[in-house]
Amino acid sequence: MVEARIRVIYGDTDQMGVVYHANYFRYFELSRIEYLHARGASYRDLEREGLALPVVEATASYKSPARYEDMLLVRPRVSEVKRVSLTFTYDIFREGGPDTPLCTGRTVHACVSREGKPTRLPEALVRLLHEAP
């Protein structure tokens, strides 16, 4: 299982002292990067091949607030791989807290060429996405 650790900084919080809702999407992104690196790949590798994986859909469900200096654990996983898209799902926990997520989310990514045209996911990437880290 891949797990990204993130310490909440003051700039991530709002006036109420909780993590601003949009920052969870940054946490999702960081965990996706860690997921790929754990499998020996990177977004940069895809870019060198002339491909990109833009987010085409993103959702988050907030269960309980994270606060300044909390250490968060983000657990990404690939939940679906199609011909030209893939879906990541995420669970965010407070380190040392109960094993119930503070936030859950999902991002859908299209595989596109430099010109922005949908293209088939590379077979090597599909294999890497399913390997255990």
What is the dihedral sign for C-alpha 118, 26, 20, 93? positive
The C-alpha atoms of residue 71 and residue 109 are separated, in whole angstroms, by: 27
Token reading at 52: 């990109």
Residues annotated as part of the active site: 14
* Cβ atoms 104, 61 nearer than 8 A: yes
What count of other Cβ atoms lies within 10 Å of the Cβ of residue 44? 10
Task: Give Cα separations from 46 to 52, 72, 111, 131 (angstroms).
Answer: 6, 28, 10, 18
Residues near 127 by Cβ (< 8 Å), separated by ≥ 6?
none
